[in-house]
Amino acid sequence: MTSKTEKVLQTMNVGGLDEAAFFQSIAELIQHARRSLEKQVNTTMVVTYFEIGRRIVEREQQGAKRAQYGKKILQGLSDHLTATQGRGWSVDNLKLMRRFYVVYADRVIGEPVVPQFSKPISWKHYILLMRIANPDERQFYEVEIASNGWSFREFQRQYDSSLYERLALSRNKKKVLELAAKGQIIRSPQDLFKDPYVLEFTGLPEKAEYTETELEQKLIDHLQQFLLELGKGFAFIGRQVRFTYEDESFYVDLVFYNRLLKSFVLIDLKIGRLKHQDIGQMQMYVNYYDRKIRLSDENPTIGIVLCRDKKDAMVEMMLPEKNKRIFAAKYKTVLPSKEDFKKLLKGE
């Protein structure tokens, strides 16, 4: 019995539960056992696939004509496993296992391979990870999947929206290397900032044929996806949050709280090009929250203006030289081209 299961049993006072609660406690115990079993099975299968890949590669290397011999050995192995083990052992799947070993062999030092693949990353995750040519980018996603518990669908969305490239664009070389090794570490407001933000889940057209209210509603309708896009540690507080100052009311489009930074995060939506008045407005919102809302043990408020377009020179001129709290970023309602981001990274 695992230590986690033992803890569940030890802390469960079944004698003091009513009948309905008792039934629920049994159901939760079974669900916990199933989740633990799924994790164990996943780790075992991933390690097994790696070992199959290793043996295939070593066997192929013994052939005088590798390509021809490799094709023959894969087909023969597929036929044998299908006959003895059932479905799931096609030549294409065996090629994936071979590829798995080739990609990750340099990350594994000797035997055994279990420590490398004990993270909560499924075989389906690894199939997509293997397609990432840049080892730094691949390792970044491995860290993020494991630390955030991303489902395959969440991982695919973050990869398709070029999360690594977008974060790398706002970092120097040293920070990019840290990004690859440790994933996204949130220590300051700059660490959570992206430019652009990708809001393809809203289903809105690329052209500004909608209002700010419609954009806001779409973000609320897809709040889970929006929180994923914002990043780690975000909690939703409210929309059109009102505050009154000198008998005049103001409304902040979206208010979040980031528990990692212990800061309020205010978001203002603009469907056109950013104007200097927009930055001034956000500065007022941030000042109000700092002086009237935030508690003494909380950090200064962060403001983000999301707009369709902006001039970086104007933004830089409007904000203080050592600004660390107010940001202006573009947003896109269609998935960007990964090639475009790669060109930006290279300074092309």
Report the interhelical angle of 223-230 vs 152-160 (nearest 10°).
60
The SS3 assignment for 200 reads helix
The SS3 assignment for 235 reads strand
Contact present, 239 and 220 (Cβ < 8 Å): yes
**Residue in the block written with tokens 């099975």:** 41
User: What does residue 145 show for φ and ψ, rounded to 5 degrees?
Assistant: -60, -45
Angle at 51 between CA 47 and CA 57, to 5 degrees: 145
176/164 Cα distance (integer angstroms): 9
**Residue in the block written with tokens 């020179």:** 313
Contact present, 53 and 98 (Cβ < 8 Å): yes
Q: Specify whether the backbone of 347 is left (phi greater than 0), alpha (psi in -120 to 50) or beta.
A: left
What is the CB neighbour count within 10 angstroms for residue 286? 20
What is the CB neighbour count within 10 angstroms for residue 75? 13
pLDDT in tens, 56-100: 888 887 755 555 666 788 888 999 999 998 888 999 999 999 999
- What are the distances in angstroms from CA 92 to CA 42, 88, 254, 259? 20, 10, 47, 45
Identify the helix (H) or strand (E) that includes residue 330.
Answer: strand 326-332
pLDDT in tens, 311-321: 877 777 777 77
Buried b (16+ CB within 10 A) or exposed e, 168-204: beeeeeeebeebbeebbeeeebebbbbbbbbbbbbeb
Contact present, 329 and 194 (Cβ < 8 Å): yes
Using a cut of 0.75, tell me whether the model's pTM lies above it. Answer: no
130/105 Cα distance (integer angstroms): 12
Contact present, 307 and 344 (Cβ < 8 Å): no
233/69 Cα distance (integer angstroms): 52
How long a stretch of residues is the chain? 348
3/11 Cα distance (integer angstroms): 12
Give me 330's structure tokens. Answer: 């573009």
Q: What is the pLDDT along the chain (348 residues), one digit of tens a residue?
A: 455 545 544 554 555 566 777 667 777 887 888 777 777 778 888 888 998 998 888 888 775 555 566 678 888 899 999 999 888 899 999 999 999 999 988 765 444 444 456 567 889 999 999 999 988 899 899 989 988 888 899 999 999 888 888 888 767 777 777 887 788 888 888 888 888 899 999 988 877 678 899 999 999 999 999 999 999 899 999 999 999 988 889 999 999 999 999 999 999 999 888 888 899 899 999 999 999 999 999 999 999 999 988 887 777 777 777 778 899 988 988 877 777 766 665 555
